[in-house]
Amino acid sequence: MNKVITISREFGSGGREFGRRLAEELGFDYYDKEIISEIAKKTSMSEEFIKEVTDKKPHNLFPITFGHTFIYIDNYYPLHQANDIYIEQNNIIKEMAQRSNCIIIGRCADYILEDKDPFRIFIYADMESKVKRCKERAPEGEDLSDKELRKKINSVNKGRAQYYEYYTGRNWGDKLNYDLCINTTNANIKELVEVVAKLFK
């Protein structure tokens, strides 16, 4: 059976970098945004739309009608679309785990692959460290204040928690759901990876 590592992470904690570096260190395949791309290929939905849907809890709301146009309030999406995406995500993640040793970022992979007994990691950090990391890795042209970044970080993490809890019935970030919880506050990700990689060699 292939070795599978799943990584759940707080926004700004460096979890994506940690996963990528660990995959390189171990020679494992690495899946993150690739999951979104695969879902888009198998559906008629855009990658941007899929990412929006999978970043928050779905809501079974009826649309408001203006003339012949249907709209949804506050970027809420029809429940059936969210569930269709989750089903495709479920199938794709299982296929990825079947192919080879791999590291999978987010997407409820720890729950979806439960029967394969993946090694489950949760990455977190304090707010100051997350704000600092977000500033250092901000895309060109983005210049958010510390206050705006804190608001964004809290919003993203709230969405991730609600999505995870909706589909798994578990509390996102609860230490009982993971095999290893790593605090990256003021830590060097590369050095952390070198230590953790020894668990799998």
Task: Give alpha helix (H) positions in the chain.
Answer: 15-26, 33-42, 47-53, 79-99, 109-112, 127-136, 146-168, 189-197
* pLDDT at 63 exceeding the cut of 60: no
185 CB contacts (<8 Å, ≥6 apart)? 125, 126, 128, 129
21 CB contacts (<8 Å, ≥6 apart)? 189, 190, 193
Condensed to tens digits (0 to 9), the pLDDT of residues 179-192 reads 999 999 999 999 99
Give 54 or 31, the one with higher predicted confidence.
Answer: 31
Give 98 or 75, the one with higher predicted confidence.
Answer: 98
What are the structural domains, with CATH classification, of the chain?
4-193 (3.40.50.300)
Token pair recorded at residue 193:
């990876």
Condensed to tens digits (0 to 9), the pLDDT of residues 136-149 reads 888 887 888 999 99
* pLDDT at 126 exceeding the cut of 90: yes
* pLDDT at 152 exceeding the cut of 80: yes
Highest mean pLDDT among 17-31, 34-48, 61-75, 129-143: 17-31
